[in-house]
Amino acid sequence: AQSVTQLGSHVSVSEGALVLLRCNYSSSVPPYLFWYVQYPNQGLQLLLKYTTGATLVKGINGFEAEFKKSETSFHLTKPSAHMSDAAEYFCAVSEEGSQGNLIFGKGTKLSVKP
């Protein structure tokens, strides 16, 4: 069965600092991986996704993530945090051969200090 683990339910960084949100997955077959962002009182919005091909994926708002099969990881990074990045971030996996539903991690709330 697929599962997603996000290390750290809450991450706090200073404005301008590196953002690193961790995501590890368990999957018996090559997965498809996603990061979603949820701003306060809003629905989820896709940041980026990995399906096949290049393992470094660039998304919106300057975020990127790298798929590392050997580490079963898909960590999300951004070189310089902005106040507007404060939100909750969810990593999700969908498995080839499954019905296609997304399995989400429990989320990481990112705070950005001025």
Partner 1 sequence: GAGVSQSPSNKVTEKGKDVELRCDPISGHTALYWYRQSLGQGLEFLIYFQGNSAPDKSGLPSDRFSAERTGGSVSTLTIQRTQQEDSAVYLCASSLGRAKNTEAFFGQGTRLTVV
Q: Which residues bind partner 1 (CB under 8 A)?
A: 6, 9, 32, 34, 36, 41-46, 49, 51, 90, 92, 94-96, 99-107
Gap between the Cα atoms of 51 and 40, Å rounded: 28
Of 85 and 105, the one with the shorter C-beta distance to partner 1 is 105
Of 58 and 106, the one with the shorter C-beta distance to partner 1 is 106
Catalogue the E-assigned strands of the chain: 3-5, 10-14, 19-21, 24-26, 31-38, 44-50, 56-58, 64-68, 73-78, 87-95, 103-104, 108-113
Instruction: Kindly state the smallest distance separating residue 61's Cβ from partner 1, in Å.
Output: 15
Instruction: Kindly state the smallest distance separating residue 72's Cβ from partner 1, in Å.
Output: 17
Instruction: Kindly state the smallest distance separating residue 36's Cβ from partner 1, in Å.
Output: 8
- Under a CB-based contact definition with an 8 Å cutoff, are residues 7 and 107 in contact? no
- Amino acid (1-letter code) at residue 102: L
Of 41 and 114, the one with the shorter C-beta distance to partner 1 is 41
